[in-house]
Amino acid sequence: MLFAYPKSKVPAIASVALAALLAGCSSTDVDPTAGWSPNKIYSEARDEASSGSFDKAIPLYEKLEGRAAGTAIAQQAQLEKAYAQYKSGEKAQAIATLDRFIKLHPASDGVDYALYLKGLVNFNENLGLFSWVSKQDLSERDQKAAKDSFESFRELSTRFPESKYTPDAEKRMRYIVNSLAQYEVHVARYYYERGAYVAAVNRAQSAISDYKEVPAQEDALYILMLSYERLNMADMAADTKRVLEASYPNTRLLANGFRKEERPWWKMW
């Protein structure tokens, strides 16, 4: 037996259903770009980005990619979308966009910029700073982003030595190397001051072997020497001291100990 509504309630129920249907129709999103040309979408996207509304620019660039697929303006939209994602803090999305661009358009004139922007997305001027200030365990800090940034800049400088982005990329590469070396020294000192001398030796040796001709090597040798002394490894300590004196004849560490830096170590320019 089928259930039947009382006849008196049918009109009311029908009205409610009709109202719900109309409400659903009225709430359906209308695409304001439906009749726009690719040039107009691009213009609007750039206006949003120029005003700092990157969250509004991103979907416009995405629409442009779809409607102008295979054209130069679509390639430009990809690059500008990646920049907008970067400025919006969407780093993973920006990297994905740039990787896709490099893969799909390996011969594009914009590959050098894509590599440069990829390096910028991963670049962090304060490498390891905040964990050091807050006295957190520095060994827990992930330096992968800095190393990824270096690789992007290295690829740019190798493949496109004449690119206008290469000089700045090379400058940032030097900064990253110096910062990573100094980071290792900070970790080594952190371990040394907590009595973990074997760990201090390992990190100081990493700074010395992995990063050549950087300012942090002087401190790394000093920490290495102190750690060997604490471990009662007199011969190793003496050898390290000789290397320190030969490499840095004007060093003040042996007489004065750890120095207070006159400027933050992370400020390289």
The pLDDT tens digits for 113-134 are 999 999 999 987 555 444 444 4
Which is nearest to 187 in space by CA: 248, 140, 221?
Answer: 140
191: which 2 tokens? Answer: 């371990």
pLDDT reading at 109 higher than 90: yes
d(CA 210, CA 184) in angstroms, rounded, equals 10
Tell me the residue length of the chain: 269
What pTM was estimated for this model as a whole?
A: 0.73
- Is 260's pLDDT higher than 70? no
Per-residue pLDDT band at 34 (split at 50, 70, 90): confident
Instruction: Please give the pLDDT value at position 15.
Output: 47
Q: What percent of the chain has pLDDT over 70?
A: 78
What is the Cα–Cα distance from 229 to 155, expressed in whole angstroms? 42
Q: Could you report the per-residue pLDDT of 1-25, keeping only the tens digit for each?
A: 333 434 444 444 444 444 444 455 5
Q: What pLDDT, on a 0 to 100 scale, did the predictor assign at position 267?
A: 45
Least confident range from 27-36, 53-62, 135-144: namely 135-144
Is 138 a residue whose pLDDT tops 60? no
Instruction: Tell whether the model's pLDDT for residue 64 goes beyond 60.
Output: yes
**CB–CB of 204/186 below 8 Å?**
no
With cut-offs at 50, 70 and 90, classify the pLDDT of residue 167.
Answer: very high
- The pLDDT, as a whole number, for residue 256 is 85
Please tell me the predicted confidence (pLDDT) of residue 133: 43
Residue percentage of the chain with pLDDT more than 90: 63
| pLDDT the model gives residue 23 | 52
- Alpha helices for the chain (secondary structure H): 10-27, 38-50, 54-67, 72-87, 91-104, 111-122, 129-133, 144-159, 166-193, 197-210, 216-230, 234-247, 253-256
As a whole number of angstroms, the distance between CA 200 and CA 227 comes to 7
Higher confidence at residue 124 or residue 57?
Answer: 57
CA–CA distance, 126 with 153 (Å, rounded to integer): 18
pLDDT for residue 30: 80
How far is the C-alpha of 92 from the C-alpha of 177, rounded, in Å?
A: 23
CA torsion, ordered 175, 177, 178, 181, to nearest 10 deg: 150
pLDDT score of 135 more than 50: no
List C-alpha distances in Å: 55 to 38, 42, 51: 19, 15, 11
With a cut of 80, say whether residue 69 has pLDDT above it.
yes
Q: Is the pLDDT of residue 252 over 50?
A: yes
The two structure tokens encoding residue 245: 């004196």
User: Among positive and negative, which fits the CA dihedral 105, 110, 116, 120?
Assistant: negative
In 10 A of CB 71, how many CB atoms? Answer: 13
Q: Could you give the CA distance from residue 140 to residue 151 in angstroms, rounded to a whole number?
A: 22
Domain boundaries, the chain: 38-89
Minimum mean pLDDT among 14-23, 74-83, 139-148, 210-219: which range? 14-23
Pick the more confident residue, 19 or 177. Answer: 177
Phi first, then psi, for residue 181 (nearest 5°) are -65, -45
Give the whole-angstrom CA distance, residue 4 versus residue 7: 8
- pLDDT at site 212: 85
Q: What is the pLDDT of residue 257?
A: 83
Least confident of 17-21, 80-84, 178-182: 17-21
Q: Are 202 and 194 in contact (CB under 8 A)?
A: no
